[in-house]
Amino acid sequence: MTAQFSSRDPNHPTFWDERFAQGFTPWNFAAVPQALRDFVGAFQRTESSTPNCLIPGCGHANELGFLCESGWQVTAIDFSAAAVQAAKSQVEPWSAQVQQADFFEFTPAGPLDLIYERAFFCALPPAIREAVVRRWAELLPSGAKLIGYFLLDETESISKKGPPFLTSVKEFAGLMSPYFECIENVKVSDSLAVFEGKEHWQVWRRI
């Protein structure tokens, strides 16, 4: 049966509630991607601290259990009630780490060391990109890191249709440069079909 949706505005939780309720989630990797595994492994070899990490727009929160098992303090948030319900149902015994919250209004309990990005930035319309980047910068102190997957294209005149919404490499660099410096950038080889050929694993350090 073909999915039927009444909401067309990804700025609103109803848009995502409908898609989760009908099982239409082509962005769901349903596993822990390799670049994140590699980053966590390197972190554990070189750092003795326990990082405090936020996952905005967590969706199914597939990575939450892995990060908690690795000793990280993790909070996963989503403004969609259906997404939160889906996440909680599959991340026991860490379901308490999943909260329904708006990224732009959420305040973490303590200072963050990391924010993990996966299919959140590209899910939101281009008009609020600057606000998302600014909020990342507000949440992360100097030296903290934004890590994850970013949907980028070398072409400057890219389509504004989505989600997912592509961002040009030049535009993204311009948005990030006032607040962050990029310390790692690798093309991803294990992307889902909806992201294939456009996904980059990146690590950004807060200036």
CA distances from 184 to 6, 17, 152, 155 (A): 40, 34, 14, 21
Q: Regarding predicted confidence, which is higher, 23 or 141?
A: 141
Predicted pLDDT of residue 2: 63
- What percentage of the chain carries pLDDT values higher than 70? 96
Task: Find out whether 8 and 174 touch, Cβ atoms under 8 Å.
Answer: no
Q: For 19-28, what is each residue's pLDDT tens digit?
A: 888 888 878 8
Predicted pLDDT of residue 27: 81
- Chain-centre distance for alpha carbon 87: 14
Q: Sorting pLDDT into bands at 50, 70 and 90, what band is 75?
A: very high
User: Any residues with CB less than 8 A from the CB of 70 and at least 6 apart, and which?
Assistant: 40, 44
Please spell the DSSP secondary structure of 54-103, one letter per residue.
EETT-TT-TTHHHHHHTT-EEEEEES-HHHHHHHHHHSTT-GGGEEE--T
Q: Sorting pLDDT into bands at 50, 70 and 90, what band is 43?
A: very high
3 has pLDDT over 70: no
User: Any residues with CB less than 8 A from the CB of 138 and at least 6 apart, and which?
Assistant: none
Predicted pLDDT of residue 91: 93
CA dist 88 and 162 (Å) reads 27
157 has pLDDT over 60: no
Predicted pLDDT of residue 203: 98
Predicted pLDDT of residue 190: 83
pTM: 0.92
